[in-house]
Structure 1
Amino acid sequence: MKVNLLKERQKAYTINWIEIIVIISVVLFIMAMGVHYYFLYTSSKVLEADLYALDNQIHVLLRRV
């Protein structure tokens, strides 16, 4: 009886490595998605600024002609 209780207690306190790996991989995936969308957002803002700069250059050239 005591042996069974010890085995059950050891099972309760053992580390489940698969669950830990799954949790870490999910957290890393969410972080990677956040970084990815951050870079997409900044690149869209840079492209928008370049578009406005080119539009201003076109207007300056049209005024000169």
Structure 2
Amino acid sequence: MPEIEEILNKVEELREKLNKLAQNKNEKLTDPKIIAVSRELDILLNTYHKLMTNKMIKLKSQ
């Protein structure tokens, strides 16, 4: 579970960072900084989804 908690903490950090960047009136949503954070967040969310899917598969097979 520590790995999942770590991922969730990082997801929350990146989500907050992305929101702050997006709220900045001088930044466009296509700004490379926003895109980079968004991609990093996507990767983490995909990792989380895979971990949870694998966990559910293991639970069902028991």
Which band: TM-score by shorter chain?
0.3 to 0.5
Identify, as 1 or 2, the structure richer in helix.
1
Q: Which has the higher contact order (CA 8 A, sep 6+)?
A: 2
Which TM-score applies when normalising by structure 2? 0.48
Which TM-score applies when normalising by structure 1? 0.46
